[in-house]
Structure 1
């Protein structure tokens, strides 16, 4: 039987390919075609429709990279086609069957009404069903000649370098009869053939094989249309056998994962969304059981702003429950690198858009493709009213297979969210037999749960779900030998999954993706722009709110919302991670600069309204920490009586920088060889292990250049110790600083090492003129500290990661994310390392011959991948880091904020009384702003920053009454953490890492 099955499979494949599928459109006539090429960027639809055309034939070349061409297609339906279903078949020159990564089109009627999108797996356009004969057909196609960018270095990723040579050649342009019975025969045979291939050697497989054989025998290959019904009759019994009661249950949801930028620019995503939603609206009208979901509020907004006619159709379908907004975020963002407030605004703006536009609030967070998930996310989700998460990406992990598909995920504060990883292992399911069978076999919660989700449809401009997928799902609804398939919304799936799985396993801490680790470093300029924008936005909100309350100034609500949404958009999981084409990152850096300029102006105007540029208020008090006074004596700190800051020369040609708190010795190579905490008389560095050591590695991963760094990169390292110059830059009571200049390869680096009066940390400013490719630049700080774990900042707190590699899970985390700080500690003493703009880092530990432990932290600075941007990171970059010996976690939190805050403006007026004071430094202010609803109420968001319990008294310094605790959408919700009365001050009790949002209505007195 095994050999017979193979023979039947081979026979089926050829007959389908060469006879039955071509018979779906048995008769055709050519379409007449004409073309107009837009001179530059896409034009409005009315302009494209009205532009003059020139004739073009099938087979002709068209389409410069990133160009737009408008095709007009005309024909007359033959009179003898009356009663038949008629379609237009439009092949724009599609290459292979992969949708979303080549040319695409959107079809319009003469009045500008969109019909549907075109891609390699969806080339048909409805004309008449049935035809009367003699109809005049006139269609217009907005055709995008997006290059099919190969996964290797190339210049196609920017219009400025892609050239003008046509990329495509028009294929079939026909008007054709659609034989629906033959089309159904194709779906019958494909479903049964795929099921037969997946089934074990049992009776059911034999029955299907014989049914297929009988159907193929019944087909007259010279008259497929005339014998299709007879062939289908041979398959009826095999298709009508019901599934077993214990069959795995798959909830299918129509889906089109559209990367908001990746191998195309943002402007092209707007059109990809339009093509896909036009397709889905048409499919929803034709298929009553079908349900489609779309997750990114920004993409809905694209439609609203640029394609209002499609948007109105979407709104209607949403109101009918067929087109389901889900996810609740502004964009499917990276979740590792966005800061605390940025993640809050992803939810507040996303969920508010869905509420305002559709009256819908989703409990589900939909992030199928995001590259791992920060441990602070569950709390943010729940504070926004979401408690369910879907993702697919963790299935891409290369080292460890995640042990669950359905579970509860617990974040750093103890918040839990119900989480599902679809075992189908794709967010572009096509309803193939292999995918459906894999979902059932792969499901790791058998015996405890029975169902999983299958996001179904082509993504990335591929147009979403197809009629073929829906036809297959219908046949798999209740079919023996297969999981059952039912169309359901995300909420319906999660309702059913939670109802049957009351006590799922719990996963605590980050959901780390064991792949794509280099996205924490690639495209440094994009990442720096993001960090800068986040902090400037929060500072601008604070100043503007203070000016509104103190001086009655207008609050720039609309401008701040627009700027937040701009920064949030650029946090998409292929933009902020640095994995998009050059065009995307060039635009991102330009946009970030524009955002910074506008925010600086908002802040300046607020300061002016307050009476001139001010020296406060700040979100976080940046004053130096009040550590104990300098100890007296001691051989290791014999020069501790030096002035507040000093530079002295060492015998070996190096220098000593010192103030009353820290002594740093820099040798003649420009390396820090000693860093003494004078307060505790403690040396920070291990013997013979210099800090501020730049290290260069080869960086050629096995795949995914911009995304990946593989562990073997560590096998080869070059310490950059050759010195061009070492000079004293400043030697004054206020600052002691050295300048270090080095050259390596085709690049150079200038560093400034500085101590400032009253500052307990050594600051390292690094300027790199980078012209390396396929290299990885690290900045190393070895520490003489024995710690089996360290703290890395994440949203609204920190998580602990091991410094050892006991297990394969720990070994896989050889590159990890931090926000502003990492902190290492022994009982009673620690070190904080601060970053102003980098995210990636690695930690290693060794035991020395003297028995001590060396723990080394290395910040990841720059890479040089060549795909998808062959010029990634080339040029000038500036980084700022700092090392604080003797720091505890509270110091790390404070100094992390201080290093990242913009320098306060100096002015002529007196300091401004802050809107709030908080009496516990462990309770950190995350945001001060006016309410998003325009009421003028003041919003304060705080969080417990140290991982312990905290009580605090919050005192507003303005008239207020009726204070509320709120969710992230600023809606009042009860919270037992706060003791709220109409009286002030407000007393709060916070759990470890708990965030709390308070709303303060203002009074006139």
Structure 2
């Protein structure tokens, strides 16, 4: 029997490949082809259609990297084909094994209306189902010659990732350009045999069902006349009717297939090419929806809908029609499928604000599911944000990529920082590009970890990244698998239908608490430092611009820049896409990102400047310093964490200057920095060997070690260069201790210069007056390759966990490696601070632009004390997909804060990221809003997006405890309402007494308030 099985499987493969599939198109005639190669960037459709053409033959080369060629194909349907189904077969030179990563095309009719996209697995265009014969065919193809960047074995550095460095050699050869007869019966036979053959291969050898299928397949193959496949196909199909009609078992797993085309908004192609990828794919999918009444397609990312609306309105019209019919389903509720590790608090909230609002305004749809299959880990802040945005389901797939530990659930409740839970699904099919193959479906059934409690899972189905989405072959598979013995039941349906059913049957699902950490792609926290710095700076500038513009609008009648802020937020949100902000796109993407961030900075600074000028009125010159610093306050002239608040008499960790900062030489060529609050010893190598806290009588630096130690590691991961750092990188390290220059500056800082490899680093170490903080400004002229640069702080602190800032709070992560789960977090994400603490005394390291960090611990032999070493990740130098990643000059600011509580860490994290501002000629600016509890952080103050003039305030409890705080407004208010993220009231308005309202917050709770202004002017 074993021999029968292997013989039949081999026979099936050969007959399908060599006889049956070729017979799907039994007759064909060539089309005439002409071409026009557009110079430079893509041109409008009308220009491409009108341009002159030259003849081109099949087999001819075409398409330089990133070029656009406009092909025109013409021909006549032969008279003898009357009554038959005819299709144009348009092969641009595709490699069927790489859908989404090479050339693509969009087919147009002569009037410029789009037909469908062309992709490696979707090369046909229907001419007629029952042609009359003699029809004239005229089609235009806008073809993009995107170069193949990705080669998995190995990743090869390439200059093709930017049009400025790519060559101009043609990348493709024009392949088949024919009119052909489609034999529908043979096509159906192919689908029958593929489904049954794949199912048979997945069934146990001992399964009677496997042998039933095998014998039926043998009979079908016997019935095929290899010299006349078309004439015998119906007879062969009849032999399969019985096995195809056997119903699935009552206990069969249920798979909800959802048509999908995961399209990275940028990755191995620039943003402009994604606009065209989306147009091709949506043209394809709306066409398939018309042909297949049971098919349902879902698309995420409001930005991608907006692109079609702007650039391909004719395609967008088809999309809107299909959405209205309920079969083209907007999902996700975010502006893009963003990274969720690194976006700041407000940015992650605004992903939902702008995404959900787009779907509401365009389609009248309140999206309920958050769709993030491919993001590199998931912040513990997400569950609360999901619910505050009015959504209730969450979907991810990427956790299946974890390399150390298998995630224990597929359907579960995910509990976030504040205790909010969201019903979550992680498809066991382990791909967001499923084609519903027998292997994939069987894997989903075997892999599903909720057996016995739940019976269903979801399968995103379709080729992504411009591969064309779902194909008619995939839909045919689903029809055959809808109720087939030996298989899971498969049906296309909306994501919401799946979630409703899954929740109904498994509402008691297990709970996972905290972040969904991806045990892979950890280096995305560091790659492309300038992109990350641009993001951080833009986020804080946006908060400042909203704060100052709102203050000036309320106080001075300043015209609030609604349109500009909306546009700028969307620009920043786009660049938080999970292959841009993580630094994993081609050079072109990051080159453009740098320019974009520069323009964003300039415009936001202009908005801030205009608001400050409005507040100053006509007073010339001078000015009161307005610090943007601590995140709480009580009224006055200091902007704390995005809210104008008062400068407290004495901030924790701060004191009136007891001494002016000094720099004194010490024996051995070192120096001592002292400001009365800290005494810092720097040795002759320029390393910090002591940071003494006189108030606590406590040394910060572990004995026998040195802090602010730059360390260099080799960095050559096993795969995924820009994405990964593997644990073995730690096996080799070079401490950068050689010093070229060690000298005090006129400004009271200590200057340290080092050279290493082909690079150079200059640092300024200083102690600000009246502040318990060692500031370190670092400039690196970086010219290394495949290296990893860290800044180490070995601390004399016994702590079994760190507190690392995340959105709207902080996460605790272990400093030990007790379990494989602990050990796998050898590189993790922090926003503005990482804090370590023993009872009564702690240390924080704060930064202005880094995200990656690691922490290790060791026990000293001399005194058995614990050294806990915290390291910031500064720079990498991978060569793929950008061969010159991070080359050039970089500037970082970070600081060591001894004696810091968690509250100090929060405040100092804000302080290092927000600049001082001066209001010219002003004696002080009263705060627009203040809160009475230091634990409560105001993350945003702005005018309501609806133009009502209401003031919107978002705040959160930052320390992980309960807080009771009074919110006071510095302007007359009529009422205060609690709102969702979209500024829609969720609780009845409360009339204020003029002194504000009292709030009770649970740990890490986010609250959005809408303050109606009494006699508001509506500015």
Q: Distance in 2 between matches of 1:614 and 1:537?
A: 22
Q: Distance in 2 between matches of 1:332 and 1:533?
A: 19
Structure 1 length-normalised TM = 0.97
Once the two structures are superposed, what CA deviation does each residue of 1:715-765 show, in whole Å capped at 9, x if it has no partner? 00000000000010135xxxx310000000000000000111011100011
Q: Residue 762 in 1 paired to residue 754 in 2?
A: no
Aligned to 2:188: 184
The 5 Å alignment of 1:696-845 reads 696-730=712-746, 736-845=748-857
List gaps (5 residues or longer) in structure 2: 618-622, 627-637
Aligned to 1:626: 650
Quick check: 983-992 or 641-650, which moved more? 641-650
Aligned to 2:701: 685
Q: Residue 889 in 1 paired to residue 902 in 2?
A: yes
Q: Offset at 1:649?
A: 1.0
Q: Offset at 1:44?
A: 0.3
Q: Offset at 1:906?
A: 5.9
Q: Distance in 2 between matches of 1:614 and 1:270?
A: 47
Aligned to 2:978: 965
Aligned to 1:267: 272
The 5 Å alignment of 1:402-481 reads 402-481=407-486
Once the two structures are superposed, what CA deviation does each residue of 1:41-79 show, in whole Å capped at 9, x if it has no partner? 000000000000000000000000000000000000000
Q: Offset at 1:622?
A: 9.2
Q: Measured at CA, do residues 830 and 706 of structure 1 come closer, stay the same or move farther in structure 2, by a change above 3 Å?
A: same
Q: Offset at 1:643?
A: 3.0
Q: Distance in 2 between matches of 1:165 and 1:540?
A: 47
Q: Distance in 2 between matches of 1:730 and 1:623?
A: 29
Q: Residue 199 in 1 paired to residue 203 in 2?
A: yes
Q: Measured at CA, do residues 878 and 622 of structure 1 come closer, stay the same or move farther in structure 2, by a change above 3 Å?
A: farther
Once the two structures are superposed, what CA deviation does each residue of 1:532-555 show, in whole Å capped at 9, x if it has no partner? 000000000001001110011110
Aligned to 1:860: 873
Q: Measured at CA, do residues 230 and 897 of structure 1 come closer, stay the same or move farther in structure 2, by a change above 3 Å?
A: same
Q: Is this contact kept in 1: 2:265–2:274, CA < 8 A?
A: yes
Q: Is this contact kept in 2: 1:666–1:672, CA < 8 A?
A: yes
Once the two structures are superposed, what CA deviation does each residue of 1:387-423 show, in whole Å capped at 9, x if it has no partner? 2110100000000000000000111100111111000
Q: Is this contact kept in 2: 1:619–1:927, CA < 8 A?
A: no
Of residues 155, 158, 163, the one that matches 1:159 is 163
Q: Measured at CA, do residues 629 and 806 of structure 1 come closer, stay the same or move farther in structure 2, by a change above 3 Å?
A: closer
Q: Is this contact kept in 1: 2:965–2:1000, CA < 8 A?
A: yes
Aligned to 1:306: 311
Once the two structures are superposed, what CA deviation does each residue of 1:134-177 show, in whole Å capped at 9, x if it has no partner? 00000000000000113321111000111100000000000000
Once the two structures are superposed, what CA deviation does each residue of 1:173-199 show, in whole Å capped at 9, x if it has no partner? 000001111000000000000000000
Q: Is this contact kept in 2: 1:622–1:895, CA < 8 A?
A: no
Quick check: 240-249 or 899-908, which moved more? 899-908
Q: Distance in 2 between matches of 1:372 and 1:25?
A: 46
Quick check: 614-623 or 494-503, which moved more? 614-623
Q: Is this contact kept in 1: 2:652–2:904, CA < 8 A?
A: no
Q: Distance in 2 between matches of 1:118 and 1:795?
A: 41
Q: Offset at 1:96?
A: 3.8
Secondary structure, aligned partner of 2:332: strand
Aligned to 1:351: 356
Q: Measured at CA, do residues 138 and 742 of structure 1 come closer, stay the same or move farther in structure 2, by a change above 3 Å?
A: same
Q: Measured at CA, do residues 763 and 641 of structure 1 come closer, stay the same or move farther in structure 2, by a change above 3 Å?
A: closer
Q: Is this contact kept in 1: 2:403–2:519, CA < 8 A?
A: yes
Q: Is this contact kept in 2: 1:979–1:988, CA < 8 A?
A: no
Aligned to 1:97: 97
List gaps (5 residues or longer) in structure 1: 632-639
Aligned to 1:941: 954
Q: Offset at 1:910?
A: 2.2
Q: Offset at 1:983?
A: 5.2
Q: Is this contact kept in 1: 2:974–2:991, CA < 8 A?
A: no
Q: Distance in 2 between matches of 1:327 and 1:538?
A: 25
Q: Measured at CA, do residues 914 and 906 of structure 1 come closer, stay the same or move farther in structure 2, by a change above 3 Å?
A: closer
Q: Is this contact kept in 2: 1:71–1:143, CA < 8 A?
A: yes
Aligned to 1:615: 625
Q: Distance in 2 between matches of 1:3 and 1:626?
A: 85
Aligned to 1:1004: 1015
Secondary structure, aligned partner of 1:988: strand
Once the two structures are superposed, what CA deviation does each residue of 1:539-578 show, in whole Å capped at 9, x if it has no partner? 0000100111001111000000000000000000000000
Aligned to 1:987: 998
The 5 Å alignment of 1:508-523 reads 508-523=513-528
Aligned to 1:36: 36
Q: Distance in 1 between matches of 2:993 and 2:768?
A: 45
Structure 2 length-normalised TM = 0.96
Q: Distance in 2 between matches of 1:625 and 1:871?
A: 49
Secondary structure, aligned partner of 2:667: coil
Q: Is this contact kept in 2: 1:625–1:891, CA < 8 A?
A: no
Aligned to 1:586: 591
Q: Is this contact kept in 2: 1:665–1:675, CA < 8 A?
A: yes
Of residues 255, 271, 285, the one that matches 2:260 is 255
Q: Is this contact kept in 2: 1:624–1:759, CA < 8 A?
A: no
Q: Is this contact kept in 1: 2:659–2:769, CA < 8 A?
A: no
Q: Offset at 1:625?
A: 8.3
Q: Residue 15 in 1 paired to residue 28 in 2?
A: no
Aligned residues: 991
Q: Distance in 2 between matches of 1:160 and 1:529?
A: 22
